[in-house]
Amino acid sequence: MRCEQCGKSEAVVRITRIESGSAPFQVCLCQTCAADASPHQKKILEKQSTYDVLLQKLLKHHQVEEEESGGAIKEVPEEETSMACPSCGLDYNDYRRTLMLGCPDCYESFSDLLEKDLTRFHRATRHTDSEDHKPSELASLQDRLREARSELKSTLEIEDYDRAAFLRDEIETLENRMEELRAGTA
């Protein structure tokens, strides 16, 4: 459906106007025309353009990382791709396509091939006790708390109350976890 105002772009927003004494009036608009018609939509468009820029930077950074590392998913020789986990039957090609293992035995079955992926995703190839990382966990919780509070503020500005409620709960959870870490009960 085309925008009912400009007729050029695809309509992505439906605005309903309710004025006293008359029936509700609906109009389908493109994002730009909606921003002209509604201050709320204008804020959303401004936020969206900020997110678009951020996403472009993130994708560019990821692309540079892939080029430096020689690509995230490299071609694996045919003899290695024919492997399958004896416990669950997961084929290595299926793992590469989804990046999901089928069972705990898959780690053993594909151990040589998983090391690079595990390092890439988890920055380690073996589990370490969380007690060893309390200071770094506290720092990451503080960073996430700061991000969540900032996002909550901008979410309230654009009146996205569902997201704001989620962020409020997340902030409470983060604060409780930080208190546990500080008290040494974690």
Sign of CA pseudo-dihedral 60, 66, 72, 74: positive
Residue 171 pLDDT grade (very low, low, confident, very high; cuts 50, 70, 90):
very high
Pair (136, 176) in one structural domain: yes
Assigned domain for 65 exists: no
Task: Report pLDDT digits (tens) over 2-41.
Answer: 888 888 888 888 888 787 888 888 888 888 888 888 777 7
Pair (2, 49) in one structural domain: yes
Assigned domain for 63 exists: no
Task: Report pLDDT digits (tens) over 66-112.
Answer: 666 555 444 445 445 568 888 888 888 888 777 778 888 888 888 87
Pair (111, 89) in one structural domain: yes
What's the domain count of the chain?
3
Give the residue, 161 or 57, on which the prediction is more confident: 161
Domain boundary pick from 39, 55, 71: 55
Residue 168 lies in domain: 130-183
Pair (147, 113) in one structural domain: no
Fill in the amino acid letter for 118: L
